[in-house]
């Protein structure tokens, strides 16, 4: 049995998108010949929604360690809230106390708490343990470089310079790469040519049947709307600036049709968990967009991230789910598969080169609209007819191809991860020999 050390700062009961890969994979590693140990940050140091019910999806015999972090009531005095930086010293301390030569066969970083990835290089040098990185988002993100300084997010310059240097320090020493989108891997290999030689794999997030089995045992009430009163359209997740383009097109399509179309008059939007920040720091991002198009009366925004199983309850009771994409072709949606498992209507609006539309199409699991260089006005003209089409067939349940869906389930995705792990070990043995 090989030993796998997983670094996932966010971990249940913390409800964060970047821990889903690990959470869904843990039940399957041991049957595939890998005994996993998880090292997470103690939830008391994380400013994020928690859901104790998430612990019901974790194997009972799983070995989980927690490290501390410098508390935000101290670090925010210096403008520091980043969990990766706050916990970095404590991860190093844990490694010093628990790692030794050959104590683990492989270290797996699956997180968007990027500073923790620097431990990969340090531990590899000190203990000789190879590491694999699961790149769920870009670490060094060049997206905002094309904007004027005044249009960039607060603290962009500091964050960008820090991420640029830390990425350049850690990533060239990685022994394997996994990513939700091929573009992220290609970008890293272009920046760091040494990575062209390491095993890599594009792997979307998986679908966990156990989540809906747990949901059936819970009695969670939907506190946002009652089914049947209106046409309730739900989106669950953050809404960063790159997503505003598609949200604007969506809102414009509704604004242009609500006065003349009775169905559009019944539409209500619920954007839930639109910020990762705690309530005292979170700001509305969707409501201002709704005001641009005069539909703020039918758009509800909850900025704080909700407990995971509450979101599943809301999704199941919605008339359909909206999944807005970005103008980045590599952007993918981690919430796609929960929507499919909920067996509700889906409308995805994504770049034509994104894999989201391809997945939906292959599964007959919903509707999608693609775009490339359209304006908001042009895209809105494509959105309105599709909304009318979906509303006209309500109530309706997609005729999903569940046989094809098996390739997207958590057990299949875990086997794919293990293939990379094995390839990394084989490659390292050849180099050593």
pLDDT tens-digit series, residues 163-181: 999 999 999 999 999 998 8
Among the residue ranges 85-94, 118-127, 247-256, 350-359, the one predicted with the least confidence is: 350-359
Q: Which helix (H) or strand (E) holds 66?
A: strand 63-67
Averaged pLDDT score across all residues of the chain: 92
Residue with tokens 């010093």: 96
- Domain residue ranges in the chain: 2-206+409-432, 222-404
Spatial distance between the Cα atoms of 284 and 220, rounded to a whole number of angstroms: 26
The two domains 2-206+409-432 and 222-404 share their CATH topology (first three levels equal): yes
Instruction: Give the residues across from 370 on adjacent strands.
Output: 350
Query: What percent of the chain is modeled with pLDDT above 70?
Result: 99
Enumerate helices (H) and strands (E) in the chain, giving the number of each: 16, 13
Instruction: Give the residues across from 7 on adjacent strands.
Output: 39, 109
Spatial distance between the Cα atoms of 155 and 139, rounded to a whole number of angstroms: 16
Fold assignment, 2-206+409-432: Rossmann fold (3.40.50)
Per-residue pLDDT tens digits for 287-305: 999 999 999 999 999 999 8
Q: Given pLDDT bands bounded at 50, 70 and 90, which one contains residue 433? A: low
- In angstroms, the Cα distances linking 103 to 39, 65, 127 are 14, 15, 8
| Superfamily of the domain at 222-404 | Glycogen Phosphorylase B; (3.40.50.2000)
Residue with tokens 């639109």: 274
Per-residue pLDDT tens digits for 210-231: 999 999 999 999 999 988 779 9
List Cβ neighbours of 48 (8 Å cut-off, separation of 6 or more): 10, 14, 15, 16, 276, 278, 305
Among 252, 343, 257, 319, which residue's Cα sits nearest to residue 290? Answer: 252
Per-residue pLDDT tens digits for 59-74: 999 999 999 999 998 8
């Amino acid at each position: 049995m090989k030993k796998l050390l997983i670094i996932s700062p966010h971990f249940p009961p913390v409800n964060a998108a970047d821990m889903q890969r690990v959470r869904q994979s843990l039940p399957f590693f041991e049957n595939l010949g890998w005994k996993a140990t998880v090292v997470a940050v103690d939830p008391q140091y994380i400013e994020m929604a928690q859901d104790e019910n998430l612990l019901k999806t974790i194997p009972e015999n799983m070995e989980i360690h927690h490290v501390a972090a410098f508390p935000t009531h101290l670090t925010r005095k210096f403008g520091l809230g980043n969990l990766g930086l706050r916990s970095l010293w404590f991860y190093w301390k844990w490694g010093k106390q628990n790692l030794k030569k050959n104590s683990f066969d492989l270290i797996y970083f699956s997180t968007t708490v990027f500073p923790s990835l620097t431990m990969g290089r340090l531990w590899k040098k000190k203990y000789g343990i190879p590491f694999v990185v699961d790149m769920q988002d870009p670490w060094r993100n060049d997206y905002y470089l094309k904007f004027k300084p005044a249009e960039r997010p607060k603290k962009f310059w500091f964050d960008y310079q820090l991420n640029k240097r830390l990425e350049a320090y850690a990533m060239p020493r990685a022994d394997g790469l996994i990513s939700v989108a091929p573009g992220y891997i290609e970008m890293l290999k272009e920046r760091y040519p040494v990575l062209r030689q390491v095993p890599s794999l594009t792997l979307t997030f998986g679908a966990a049947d156990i989540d809906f089995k747990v949901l059936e045992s819970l009695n969670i009430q939907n506190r946002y709307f009652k089914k049947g009163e209106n046409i309730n359209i739900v989106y669950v997740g953050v809404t960063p600036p790159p997503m505003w383009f598609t949200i604007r097109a969506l809102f414009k399509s509704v604004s242009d049709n609500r006065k003349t179309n009775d169905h559009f008059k019944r539409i209500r939007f619920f954007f839930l968990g639109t910020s990762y920040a705690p309530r005292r720091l979170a700001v509305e991002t969707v409501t201002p967009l709704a005001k641009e198009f005069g539909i703020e009366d039918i758009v509800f925004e909850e900025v704080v991230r909700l407990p995971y199983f509450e979101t599943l309850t809301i999704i199941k009771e919605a008339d359909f789910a909206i999944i807005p994409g970005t103008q980045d072709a590599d952007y993918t949606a981690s919430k796609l598969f929960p929507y499919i498992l909920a067996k509700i209507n889906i409308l995805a609006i994504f770049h034509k080169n994104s894999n989201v539309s391809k997945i939906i199409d292959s599964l007959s699991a919903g509707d999608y609209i693609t775009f490339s260089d359209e304006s908001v006005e042009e895209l809105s003209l494509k959105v309105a007819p599709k909304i009318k089409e979906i509303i006209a067939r309500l109530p309706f349940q997609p005729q999903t191809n569940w046989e094809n869906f098996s390739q997207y389930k958590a057990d299949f995705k875990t086997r794919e991860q293990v293939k990379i792990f094995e390839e990394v070990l084989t490659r390292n043995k050849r180099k050593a020999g």
